[in-house]
Amino acid sequence: MRAIWKGAVSFGLVSIAVRLYSATEEKDIRFHQVHRDDGGRIKYKRVCSIDGEEVSYDDIAKGYDLGGGEMVILTDEDFADLPLTTSRAIEVLEFVPAEQVDPILYNKAYYLEPDKTAAKPYALLRDALTNTERVAIVKVALRQREQLATLRVREDVLVLNTMLWPDEIRAAKFDILDEDVSARPAELAMAGSLIESMAADFDPATYTDNYREALQEVIDAKVAGREVVQPEETEEAPAAAVDLMAALRASVERAKAARGETAPAKPAAKKTTAAKKTASAAKHDSEDEVAEATPIKRTAAKKTTTAAKKAAPAKKATPAKARKSA
């Protein structure tokens, strides 16, 4: 679990650093609204009722309807100035008998975990609540709203139950019950016998959500039979790819500019390809030049050798003439 709130429980001069965790989770099977024909997700737009234009989240404020078409607009700055003195504290107001808290007031439940340094005062408050059979009435600010709550013990853990404010409970007013309607003694005795025959100790683990289980079986059967629709790609996908490529190209150009390179990425790639072609052509041209030049070099070598042979006897004749002269 991940803590959703951090603060401290304070009663008297005792402060207990705690973390708050959701104690419950919904197990409902969730569905998306989709197009029956192709399974495409249904999207909703935030449109202004006056000008018909789509509105972004940044331009949305909170409005209080005064009636008669008049609206008071509140911004984040207006909410920032509201006093929430208990924003980081769970302030104990009083301790009351548990049976005096009407269960209709309970809203959501949270577990309290103490910090390592606050384990002893945490245990002190837990054991004191157990021994006195009382619950603590507290105030706490969660999600920018001050709430009334109780602190009680469940399985050796402090549980915070947020409560509705008294003016949030509707009055049960039904005219038919105002009439003098009562059961006869025999009927009341028979109802008592029925209740006794069905009496048991409450164990929530013995009850299951039959509808959810049956619905899950339907989904599993659909999957096993491969009655699964894979929505086709919408026409918006290519637009997103184009935007992504534009962002990548701009990022490459910015990175090159940061290194002092002014050439953009795409032209540079063309230049590299052209350079490869030029290098390849130059290589072939060089090979052709070598092929044409080789016979010339060989001919020159032969001529040089012949000239050397003709010149050699002349050199040998010189000493012979010299001996005759001698």
The rounded distance, in Å, linking the Cα atoms of 243 and 237 is 10
- Summarize pLDDT for 106-137 with one digit per residue, the tens: 999 999 999 998 999 999 999 999 999 999 99
Q: Is the pLDDT of residue 316 over 60?
A: no
Pairing of strands 134-142, 89-97: antiparallel
Inform me whether the pLDDT recorded for 301 exceeds 80. no
**Domains delineated in the chain:** 5-25+70-168 (2.40.290.10)
Backbone angles phi, psi at 259, to 5 degrees: -90, 0
Query: DSSP letter string over 74-138?
Result: E-HHHHHTS--TTTTEEEEEEEEEGGGS-GGGEEEEEEEEE-GGGHHHHHHHHHHHHHHTEEEEE
Share of the chain above pLDDT 90, in %: 24
Residue 258 has pLDDT above 60, yes or no: yes
Tokens of 259: 């290194």
Which tens digit of pLDDT belongs to each residue from 188-219?
888 888 888 888 898 988 888 888 888 888 88
User: Is the pLDDT confidence value at 289 over 60?
Assistant: no
Mean pLDDT for 169-191 is 86
